[in-house]
Amino acid sequence: MTAQLTQPMLPAEVPLHERDGRYLRHAIALADQARARGNRPFGAVIVAPDDTVLAEAWNANGETGDCTAHAETSAIRLASPRHSREALAQATLYSSGEPCVMCAGAIFWSAIGRVVYGIDAERLRVFRGERLDQRDAELSCRDVFNTSGHAIECIGPALIDEASASHHGAWKT
């Protein structure tokens, strides 16, 4: 009997309502802006239930040299001084890619109650390759959210093809 190599099962794409699709596409557009500015292609937008945009940001670590300048963390840094934890708990953070461990921690600390993301970490790892300077901690944002004392709804991956487009040719091989 020979052992068969099996590919890991990639997460299935989640269908979105129109509102979620609109804001996730906005986050993807921010990822494209990040890439055009020489950064890694990630974008995030935080939206209140009444459609007020509380903050938006793109990854800026390439242009700032700040390794923590991820889109989600930067958006939270913009939103949290201006909006209460209660307001953020009602908000949704839309991210072009699955939040990394650092960003998931920032989402937890901000009390944001809902996250919708595009490309998942497993698919992102294909773009990142094996270079150590492009690797991430292989822990799902859901693992971080599941340890939270408050509920954080997590929806994704979604719009995978659209969210993936920003990454084609963007990573060093």
Active-site residues, by number, are: 72
* 3 state SS of 91: coil
| 90, containing H or E segment | none
Helix (H, G, I), strand (E, B) or coil at 73: helix
Decide: helix, strand or coil at residue 96.
strand
Rounded to whole angstroms, how far apart are CA atoms 53 and 44? 11
Cα–Cα distance, 88 to 76 (Å, whole number): 9
- Chain-centroid distance, C-alpha 72: 6
Token pair for 133:
């300077």
